């Protein structure tokens, strides 16, 4: 059935995590703060566009790890550096995670701050005469956060995260193997019921269902920016059915959401430089329409 976890991952898909973690971390060009907590930092990798190229791209990049403190931004530093070599300026954001002051609400407070900081970086690039699109991208749990950031305008009045005044510029969202539908992810009990852990910080006065709905991008449609999703059909961590559900719901809301299913690809290839899936990620960031082209084979 389409909504159930995808086909059993092959050896290539299962080896993707090892391939990513085997890459040496790459230090950023600089690190900036968007708050006082140790996790409220952004590593910036300056893009180096080709001479005579068109407008640049600044991407606010949110890492995954099922929102847990055990996983930080370091594992995406090789991807950030590779994107920079292709002319994309990357704002690789850290945020408070479950076990380190995060969960609801801290993680979401930080995503708001990180996206605003990324938009400011895009504005600075434009002031330097380059022009710049601002894309919010995320992998896995970071993909969930990227989708949520594009739907804050749909939050009810009185929500601490509802956009007020002029919203930070977001031209596109690119979500890689995202936990796009929290209700379904919780039904599947992904990663030992990680969604429940994300919710443990919820205000006791807020009904449990309301707390989950407020941070579930599948319940906050349509997004205010076009969305491109890349999701492997052999993903053993976040089944492709999660993205299918989000995409189907978005179609019902007239949202501009496109899902590209990557045959035989697992969970990590799209953030591993040198893979076909990573090339599609780069294309989704650089192409003015956000529509990656090309063919993806099986795995990293």
Listed by start position, the domains of the chain span 11-286
Residues of the chain with pLDDT under 70: 1-11, 49-55, 126-131, 165, 201-209, 288-291, 293-300
* Residue 200 pLDDT: 78
- On average, the pLDDT of the chain sits at 88
* Residue 286 pLDDT: 87
State pTM to two decimals.
0.91
Q: Which residue has the tokens 């950031």?
A: 149
* Residue 127 pLDDT: 64
CATH class of 11-286: alpha beta
Q: Which residue has the tokens 């510029």?
A: 169
* Residue 28 pLDDT: 97
Nearest to 178 by CA among 245, 132, 82: 245
Other Cβ atoms closer than 10 A to 72: 16
| H or E element in which residue 138 lies | strand 132-139
| H or E element in which residue 258 lies | strand 257-262
Nearest to 135 by CA among 253, 32, 282, 30: 282
Q: What's the DSSP call for residue 68?
A: B
Q: How far apart are CA 60 and CA 93, in angstroms?
A: 7
Query: In sequence order, which ranges of the chain are alpha helices (DSSP H)?
Result: 11-14, 16-21, 77-85, 106-127, 141-149, 182-188, 190-199, 208-214, 240-252, 276-286
């Amino acid at each position: 059935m389409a909504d159930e976890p995808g086909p059993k991952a092959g050896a290539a898909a299962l080896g993707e995590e090892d391939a990513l973690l085997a890459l040496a971390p790459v230090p950023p060009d600089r690190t900036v703060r968007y708050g006082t907590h140790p996790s409220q930092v952004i590593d910036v990798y300056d893009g180096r566009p080709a001479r005579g190229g068109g407008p640049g791209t600044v991407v606010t990049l949110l890492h995954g790890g099922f929102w847990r403190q055990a996983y930080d931004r370091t594992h995406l530093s090789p991807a950030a550096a590779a994107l920079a070599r292709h002319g994309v300026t990357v704002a690789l954001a850290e945020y408070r995670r479950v076990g380190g002051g995060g969960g609801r609400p801290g993680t979401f407070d930080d995503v708001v701050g990180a996206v605003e900081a990324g938009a400011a970086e895009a504005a600075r690039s434009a002031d330097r005469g380059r022009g710049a699109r601002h894309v919010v991208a995320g992998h896995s749990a970071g993909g969930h956060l990227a989708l949520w950031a594009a739907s804050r305008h749909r939050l009810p009045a009185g929500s601490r995260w509802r956009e007020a005044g002029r919203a930070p510029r977001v031209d596109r969202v690119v979500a890689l193997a995202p936990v796009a539908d929290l209700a379904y992810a919780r039904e599947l009990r992904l990663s030992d019921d990680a969604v429940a852990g994300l919710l443990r910080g919820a205000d006791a006065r807020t009904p449990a269902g309301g707390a989950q709905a407020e941070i579930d991008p599948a319940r906050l449609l349509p997004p205010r920016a076009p969305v491109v999703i890349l999701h492997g059909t052999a993903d053993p961590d976040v089944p492709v059915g999660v993205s299918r559900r989000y995409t189907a719901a978005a179609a019902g809301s007239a949202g501009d959401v496109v899902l590209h299913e990557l045959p035989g690809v697992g969970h990590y290839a799209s953030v591993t430089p040198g893979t076909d899936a990573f090339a599609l990620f780069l294309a989704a960031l650089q192409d003015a329409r956000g529509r990656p082209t090309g063919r993806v084979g099986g795995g990293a």
